Amino acid sequence: MSEITIGISSCLLGNEVRHDGGHKRNIYATSTLAEYFTFRSFCPEVAIGMGIPRPAIRLSRINDDIRLVGSKDSELDVTQEMLDWSEGAIQNMQDLSGFILKNNSPSCGMERVRVFDGNGVPDRSGTGLFARVLMESMPWLPVEEEGRLNDSTLRENFIERVFVYYRWQQLIKTGLTVASLMDFHQRHKFILLAHDEAEYRQLGPLIASCTKENLQSVADEYLLRAMTMLKSRSSRKRHSNVLMHVMGFLKTKIDTDDKQELIEILDDYRNGKIPLIVPVTLMRHHLRRFPDEYISNQYYMSPYPEELMLRNSI
């Protein structure tokens, strides 16, 4: 797991790089995620030479343009420096499997960053300049803000996407072929189905159209569409639908009582009485008794290390 490298805003690791010389250590990142990921930290404001401490900056709307200027001194404008550094730095981020950004930051905020008008009145319509370049340049990359990781559903969604993208990166390293692309899709079918059934149905024909001649273009389209659809939150209804598919592989093997128990557990999960880990664990129990090669190859049953306990709270 140490091979999985995640970009992160430097202050979230406890590095004292903020404008006032402080930090914003994120305990979940440094205590839990650090056991599974290698972090590569970035502070765009320090990287463009602003120093520590430094004048605070903010996003301001000036002549219909969003500028990165001093909070107290509007003559301080580092917009172009930030854009130039961001575009150059991203060339060295292609090996990252995800990125955790500092929320509300005029450089790193992913969404709802304050943008000030000419009268100094803010609205929450902005994106940090570095974050914007990052997401526009690598739209397939799993990106999340540290504050949103407090939401159990968003946390699980982000980490699941990191592992899916990491497996894609490994596929590319070992050599992309028509067969390996088809195998990747086959093994991620239930994960994709749990996010967006309509888009999942569209990916099948795309993969089926793949040949040696159009392999790269199909793979590029597949990656973008798959990673985009994975941003959609899975729901209890969608997970239940996937688990009913899994149960279909067991229907001729388990007895009536076991079937009834599974149905009841799935109903309890769908109705919000129990977390996802409960029906998944019961399903695994039956699959150990009656192994199925197709299901055992599905990453849905084990999308990331169990020790993260992400399915215990969704």
Residue spans per domain, the chain:
5-150, 151-314
Per-residue pLDDT, averaged over 110-125, amounts to 95
Sheet holding 98-101, edge to edge: 38-42, 5-9, 98-101, 143-145
pLDDT in tens, 86-98: 999 999 999 999 9
Closest to 191 measured CA to CA, from 241, 144, 153, 152: 241
What percentage of the chain carries pLDDT values higher than 90? 97
CB 140 within 8 A of CB 124: no
Q: Residue 211: what pLDDT?
A: 97
Contact status, residue 210 vs residue 178, Cβ threshold 8 Å: yes
Neighbours of 290 (CB within 10 A): 12
Structure tokens that stand for 206 in this block? 């795309």
**Share of residues in the chain with pLDDT > 70 (%):** 99
Q: Residue 192: in which H helix or E strand, if any? A: helix 189-193
- Is 198 a residue whose pLDDT tops 60? yes
CB 184 within 8 A of CB 167: yes
The arithmetic mean of pLDDT across residues 247-270, rounded, is 95
In order of 16, 25, 67, 223, the CA distances from 22 in angstroms are 5, 9, 24, 38
Distance CA 78, CA 80 (A): 6
The predicted structure's pLDDT at residue 1: 52
Q: Nearest to residue 236, comparing CAs of 278, 194, 199, 264? A: 194
- Report how far residue 82's alpha carbon sits from residue 128's, in angstroms, rounded to the nearest whole number: 10
Residue 133 structure tokens: 């370049």
Q: Is the confidence at residue 2, as pLDDT, over 60? A: no
Residues whose CB falls within 8 Å of the CB of residue 243, separated by 6 or more in sequence, listed in order? 266, 269, 279, 280, 283
Which tens digit of pLDDT belongs to each residue from 172-181?
999 999 999 9
Average of per-residue pLDDT values in the chain: 96
* For residues 97-123, average pLDDT: 96
